[in-house]
Structure 1
């Protein structure tokens, strides 16, 4: 099923045969890989289920802090959990296979046929309907699309040294002003796709044939041209990425290290450069709070 293309030290792109659509497939599902996020996963899961996500497929990468119990307590049967604690390598070349990409490929191939849409995101990323009362409603005008790219809206610490009471969404309201900035790696995308059209997966780029992706207005671009300023839209769905949360959580994030084996010093420099860029010239963003107030959440 898989074909692999490689980078110098790791395999970060997996090709696959798309799943066959099942009769009556419908709705939006999320594929999530997670490790030790018990503090935040309940808020994240409740938000997305209340926003209309049909099911969350959780890949547990060896959590030891009650993460699995927390998401089950939050949303019950709206999630399913797959053990995913592994570091796999290509036996011939010794290249590490990106565990997150492998989880995403498994989710698409094994569960994608049930759904019209799938999103592959992290627990620090929230899909926020901007006008509609739900995510399915926000996607309704995009039936002609197989592939929707949503740019990161990068939130920093919002002045919090320690995790505040009341969760993420109402406490972190300051973000970088330009989601399309290419400074220090701030510009990136996550995607909502037709899983029955997926032919290859990377963390930030999912291929669905033809090299075409849409913005949330439904305008078509190539994967290469989605980085242009005119691609930007968050008219219908905004992707909030709470990259740091509090300063204490940022320090824990740095200590935890990256998804792939990377020298500690390189990881530290990369994270701190990104944080400095996020918090330069911040603007207030209340889109998610407005959604919660609009829907009574």
Structure 2
């Protein structure tokens, strides 16, 4: 586990640690937070640690298909019971952010008394105490409050060009002179009708601002307030970070748009130097750093942390592989992400090459398995593997024959793909004969083709003998040969006075 914080050279402990205590004392208000994330690996643990310290009982992160290690960290934290992760790919014509919020409201919000939706560059910062204490004070004043509008305080780069080690909350203290009109909402879960990006539509009750007063909403932009002040709670929005981080971030599509859209690079310049220095969040850096270290220890204590998946085959039949380092009897779940859209979590309940193996079937999935990313749940490592069609046919066949020697239909089909060309037939012959117990006529055909390839006319009799011994099987095999149009193999048969038609006829005459 390597983060920007641990790159400072802090010694690491491999000793197992107990589960983290819950962030909310027994009997307190249960507050949940929901966010959508994509490629937030360097910032994720800090954000989780901050919101645990701020008093959030449940942290839900919708993973918008990350490929920088974020997904693996989230899956490990989910397995440890620290966060709730949901695989959440982009769908055509649907803004993933609003869609994720609605899913959260329908499936998870009811577990909590109050909920907040925000982003991973946003930190809820109470002036004193926790978010729960802020809510309690408001309800003591007016029990009819069912939502709080928390203003944004926007932070810029402060002139920083490159990403540096350390926490976000201590690296960036340069911010706008005062909070802006945009807000984020913490809302009673039983009062919310729908959640927009910044505000909630309520079924009952009323909004209050961060001073417990009724906010004045903008006529021009109804989701903005016109009199935002520091108040009791702000949402620190670390909008740009450094120039290098902004440049990297703008390459990702915006989560609040249905179509793919990107941030404007020129916008960064507006936030290079802002007029105010604010260190309210930075003063919490030591506590946050300690909580991050505890989260890292939880990840390090995972029994799966050293496990590495090995993918043997990716085809329309499925993704098949083993796990290096897996001990006998050790539980193991494997994440298989297909085309950045479909995610399957499977167990190692198969046996391949004498070792526990996993199989994620891919037939009838909504996307073909052109490429997959595989990781063991609890490990921070992942591997990417292409479809077998993008690998050398000989290598694919050799692997399948080794790890799945009884997969006769698959082995025969792969063998025919090699037999389409003279070079491929040469490679097939070099692999030697395969064993076909269930379909011996497959073996006879390949044996006959190999003999004919080497110029041995006895190969013709091998094929005819199979047709006489296994007429029905050879008739079906002849049909398969005709369908696949296996070029060089058909030429060999034709030169020997055979064809798929005569082969079927020879079988039918028995």
Alignment of 1:184-199 (within 5 A): 187-199=181-193
The verdict on how the C-alpha distance between 1:257 and 1:98 changes in structure 2, with shifts beyond 3 A counting, is closer
SS in structure 2 opposite 1:204? coil
Q: Is 1:114 paired with 2:117?
A: no
The verdict on how the C-alpha distance between 1:50 and 1:211 changes in structure 2, with shifts beyond 3 A counting, is closer
Alignment of 1:239-254 (within 5 A): 239-254=235-250
One of 223, 231, 235 as aligned partner of 1:235: 231
Indicate the residue corresponding to 2:89 in structure 1: 85
SS in structure 1 opposite 2:151? strand
Tell me which protein shows more helix as a share of its residues.
2
Q: Which moved more, 1:72-81 or 1:59-68?
A: 72-81
For residues 138 and 50 of structure 1, the distance between their equivalents in structure 2, rounded to whole angstroms, comes to 14
CA offset digits 1:179-200 (Å, max 9, x no partner) = 23xxxxxx41111111211112
For residues 57 and 69 of structure 1, the distance between their equivalents in structure 2, rounded to whole angstroms, comes to 15
Contact kept? 2:156, 2:274, Cα under 8 Å: no
Q: Is 1:217 paired with 2:211?
A: yes
Length, aligned pairs only: 254
Instruction: Give the C-alpha shift of residue 159 in structure 1.
Output: 2.2
For residues 149 and 225 of structure 2, the distance between their equivalents in structure 1, rounded to whole angstroms, comes to 13
SS in structure 1 opposite 2:152? strand
For residues 87 and 258 of structure 1, the distance between their equivalents in structure 2, rounded to whole angstroms, comes to 13
Q: Is 1:290 paired with 2:283?
A: yes
For residues 210 and 50 of structure 2, the distance between their equivalents in structure 1, rounded to whole angstroms, comes to 20
For residues 274 and 169 of structure 2, the distance between their equivalents in structure 1, rounded to whole angstroms, comes to 20
For residues 159 and 255 of structure 1, the distance between their equivalents in structure 2, rounded to whole angstroms, comes to 21
For residues 245 and 73 of structure 1, the distance between their equivalents in structure 2, rounded to whole angstroms, comes to 27
The verdict on how the C-alpha distance between 1:102 and 1:42 changes in structure 2, with shifts beyond 3 A counting, is same
CA offset digits 1:184-229 (Å, max 9, x no partner) = xxx4111111121111221112111369421112112364477454
One of 49, 65, 69 as aligned partner of 1:66: 69
Contact kept? 2:53, 2:288, Cα under 8 Å: no
Instruction: Name the TM-score, length of structure 1 as normaliser.
Output: 0.77
Quote the RMSD (CA, aligned, Å): 2.6
Instruction: Give the C-alpha shift of residue 151 in structure 1.
Output: 1.4
Q: Is 1:35 paired with 2:38?
A: yes
Indicate the residue corresponding to 1:21 in structure 2: none
For residues 201 and 120 of structure 1, the distance between their equivalents in structure 2, rounded to whole angstroms, comes to 8
Instruction: Name the TM-score, length of structure 2 as normaliser.
Output: 0.46
**Unaligned 5+ runs, structure 1:** 1-23, 89-95, 181-186
| Bigger relative CO (Cα 8 Å, ≥ 6 apart) | 1
For residues 152 and 196 of structure 2, the distance between their equivalents in structure 1, rounded to whole angstroms, comes to 16
CA offset digits 1:70-90 (Å, max 9, x no partner) = 3466684131111111314xx
CA offset digits 1:22-49 (Å, max 9, x no partner) = xx99411111111111111011101111
**Unaligned 5+ runs, structure 2:** 1-26, 291-510
Indicate the residue corresponding to 1:135 in structure 2: 131
SS in structure 1 opposite 2:119? coil
The verdict on how the C-alpha distance between 1:278 and 1:179 changes in structure 2, with shifts beyond 3 A counting, is farther
For residues 25 and 194 of structure 1, the distance between their equivalents in structure 2, rounded to whole angstroms, comes to 15
CA offset digits 1:132-175 (Å, max 9, x no partner) = 2x221222112232111111111111222111111201110001
**Higher alpha-carbon Rg:** 2
